[in-house]
């Protein structure tokens, strides 16, 4: 069993892997073969978390969490396990093909992930028109902020890499203005901003309820991946002699 390091941005996404609290920027051992870091949102936070996991003995890295849909065919809760991450300059970072196929085999027949390209974005893409433009220009089916940063660390350290992402907001959905305004440029949600904005924009409340429903569907899919693959994300029988060291 390989020693896998999982990079997860948000506390809510961590709950698809564990019921234990994970302080931001700290690591938590899930089991003998997995170590989780709640990174916080954005590429720099993801990079730091990936480097931390490498220092603690991770032999493979996984970017785990939600993504925004770009392909209008994708629905909330659909699973994307991409074969490549597209950077803003158009260059591709490949995921590990053998590990990808092994994971697909373990998820079948219950889950049938999409393996098309995932797009890196420096900030949250909140508007449906921007998602449409990204889909047209990139051909990527979904977007997130962290996976490419983790892939760059994996490539630099010679580690296999996978991304496991479930769609939270579909392509045709724009985040209500109150929700978009509550996020800072790094993608962190500020509850005080959200509540203040909703006082002046109560018409955004139905949209907020919809976002929450979609997010729960995405987390349910991630939880199913965890139940099906567990600690064996990269396949059984790999050397675990240099395993993760964390309390």
Length of the chain: 247
Confidence of residue 237 (pLDDT cuts 50, 70, 90): very low
In a domain, 195, yes or no: yes
CA 15 to CA 26: how far, in whole Å?
15
15 in Cβ contact with 30 (< 8 Å): no
Cα distances (angstroms) measured from residue 198 to each of 174, 176, 187, 203, 206 = 16, 10, 19, 8, 11
Which tokens sit at 89? 């300059």
CATH code assigned at 9 = 3.40.50.1580
Q: What's the predicted TM-score (pTM) here?
A: 0.86
In a domain, 37, yes or no: yes
99 in Cβ contact with 198 (< 8 Å): no
Residues 73-97 pLDDT 10s: 999 999 999 999 999 999 999 999 9
Instruction: Indicate whether 184 pLDDT > 70.
Output: no
Instruction: Indicate whether 241 pLDDT > 50.
Output: no
165 in Cβ contact with 84 (< 8 Å): no
In a domain, 244, yes or no: no
CA 169 to CA 111: how far, in whole Å?
19
Nearest of 98, 105, 107 to residue 79 by alpha carbon: 107
In a domain, 66, yes or no: yes
Q: Is the peptide bond before 109 cis (omega within 30 degrees of 0)?
A: yes
**Residues contacting residue 156 through CB under 8 Å, at least 6 positions apart:** none
Helix (H/G/I), strand (E/B), else coil: 115: coil
Helix (H/G/I), strand (E/B), else coil: 77: coil
Helix (H/G/I), strand (E/B), else coil: 189: strand
Segment 23-52 mean pLDDT: 92
In a domain, 82, yes or no: yes
Strand partners, 93: 85
In a domain, 122, yes or no: yes
Residues 92-148 pLDDT 10s: 999 999 999 999 999 999 999 999 999 999 888 888 999 999 999 999 999 999 999
> What H or E segment, with its residue span, contains residue 206?
helix 205-229
Across the chain, the runs of DSSP E, i.e. the strands, are: 4-8, 27-31, 34-38, 60-69, 79-80, 84-86, 92-94, 118-120, 142-144, 161-169
Residues spanned by the domain of 185: 4-229
92 in Cβ contact with 135 (< 8 Å): no
7 in Cβ contact with 244 (< 8 Å): no
Segment 50-65 mean pLDDT: 96
Which tokens sit at 83? 């074969």
Confidence of residue 246 (pLDDT cuts 50, 70, 90): very low
In a domain, 62, yes or no: yes
Helix (H/G/I), strand (E/B), else coil: 36: strand
177 in Cβ contact with 197 (< 8 Å): yes
In a domain, 202, yes or no: yes
Name the DSSP letter for residue 56: T
Q: Number of folded domains in the chain?
A: 1
């Amino acid at each position: 069993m390989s020693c896998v390091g999982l990079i997860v941005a948000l506390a809510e996404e961590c709950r698809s892997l564990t019921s234990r609290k994970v302080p931001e920027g700290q690591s938590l051992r899930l089991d003998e073969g997995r170590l989780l870091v709640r990174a916080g949102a954005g590429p720099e936070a993801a990079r730091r978390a990936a480097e931390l996991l490498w220092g603690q003995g991770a032999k493979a890295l996984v970017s785990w969490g939600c993504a925004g849909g770009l392909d209008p065919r994708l629905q909330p809760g659909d699973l994307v396990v991409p074969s490549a991450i597209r950077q803003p300059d158009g260059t591709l970072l490949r995921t590990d093909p053998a590990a990808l196929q092994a994971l697909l085999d373990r998820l079948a027949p219950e889950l049938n992930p999409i393996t098309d390209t995932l797009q890196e974005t420096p900030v949250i893409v909140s508007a449906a028109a921007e998602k449409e433009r990204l889909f047209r220009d990139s051909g990527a089916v979904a977007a997130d902020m962290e996976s490419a940063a983790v892939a760059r660390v994996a490539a630099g350290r010679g580690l296999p890499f996978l991304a496991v992402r479930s769609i939270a907001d579909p392509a045709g959905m724009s985040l209500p203005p109150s929700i978009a305004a509550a996020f800072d440029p790094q993608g962190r949600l500020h509850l005080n901003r959200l509540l203040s904005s909703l006082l002046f924009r109560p018409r955004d409340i139905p949209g907020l309820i919809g976002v929450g429903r979609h997010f729960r569907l995405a987390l349910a899919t991630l939880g199913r991946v965890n139940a099906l693959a567990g600690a064996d994300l990269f396949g059984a029988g790999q050397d675990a002699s240099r395993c993760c060291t964390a309390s």
